[in-house]
A and B are shown apart, each in its own frame.
Chain A
Amino acid sequence: MSDIRQARNALVNRILEGPGKTSPSERRAAFNNSGLAEPVGTLVDKVARHACSVAGEDIDAAKVSGLSEDQVFEIVVCAAIGQATRQYDAALAALESATGKE
């Protein structure tokens, strides 16, 4: 059986708590898709909800607002991993509910 728990925890800890060009609070906000000012909030929401709708203009708007490319990189990565984590956790909870065990 494959087991991604340890590697996934390390990934999430790294992007949220490790060194970066954005603050841990900004990365946490992107991960949670919550509390980010525009236009970055719109970019993060698109990444989380319907990434195929992200356009070059969304990235450009984030840069015009003052973010460097490295900061946009970190914010988008955190947004993607945050949404995937919520989906994964929801599915594991459904699995636990369906099987009645840990």
Chain B
Amino acid sequence: MRLAILDSSHGFGTKALFALIRTVSRQPVLDVVKLVKYRPDFYGAPMSKVTQEAMRGPSAWSVGDRELMAAFIAKTSQCEFCTKAHLAVAQRAYGNGKTASALLSDSSMTTIKDPLRATLLMLGKLTSEHTVNADDIRAVLAAGASRQQIEDALAVCFSFNVITRLADAFGFSVPGPEAFEAGAKYLLSRGYR
């Protein structure tokens, strides 16, 4: 982590929480947790409300689909931490029937069915080119997504267009797969609160 305050300047109660997390999970505290718990009134608390609604609020998209969107947005942003973190959650959410990392390994994502595939491609353009136009949206509608599904997907994209930037700018450490598995288990059971 490039700012020492994000590593070690949390309050006493938060440090105690981190010690508990390390003991129970037997894994290091993920840097994203350290970020949202640092001066949470400024960023972590209000951002968590946005992300919780986008990722766990009512939607025609499943939790697995939204986690796959998060992983794809992160992959497009070249954010290794968020890609691995949310592939792990998507994998767990989908269960054994799908291999989340394999779904994204093909750049045209031919194994993913519409309208999710078309939605992912639109989110990828929005993330890499910073904008989309009406024709891009029409392509997603033509693939079978409803207007509300597109709005819901854009909410996911907003959250991860923020989080991936912060992960890269603050230099999140990328731990081993066991730490991401522990994080995925938590995010599926507790969400982003």
Binding site for B on A (CB under 8 A): 1-4, 7-8, 10-11, 14-15, 18, 20, 43, 46-49, 51-52, 54, 56, 59, 69-70, 72-74, 76-77, 79-81, 83-88, 90-92, 94-95, 97-99
Contact = CB atoms under 8 A, between A and B. Distances in A.
A84 B162 contact: yes
Interface of B is mostly: helix
A7 B164 CA distance: 19
Contacts, number: 153
Contacts of A95: 137, 147, 150-151, 154
Given A1-B59, A83-B161, A73 B3 contact: yes
A7 B56 CA distance: 14
A56 B165 contact: no
B166 A76 contact: yes
A47 to B, nearest CB: 5
B168 to A, nearest CB: 4
Given A2-B152, A18-B41, A79-B169, 16 more contacts: A2-B57, A3-B57, A7-B46, A7-B49, A18-B42, A51-B164, A52-B78, A52-B79, A56-B171, A59-B3, A59-B171, A73-B3, A76-B166, A77-B43, A84-B159, A91-B157
Contact of B126 (A8, A69, A72, A91): A91
Nearest to A97: B134
B28 to A, nearest CB: 20
B148 A83 contact: no
A84 B161 contact: yes
Contact of A99 (B58, B141, B158): B141
Contacts of A10: 46, 49
Contacts of A46: 169
Contact of A94 (B2, B42, B134, B170): B134
B10 interface: no
B130 A83 contact: yes
B86 to A, nearest CB: 16
B136 A94 contact: yes
B134 A70 contact: no
A20 B168 contact: no
B117 interface: no
A77 B4 CA distance: 16
A98 B161 contact: no
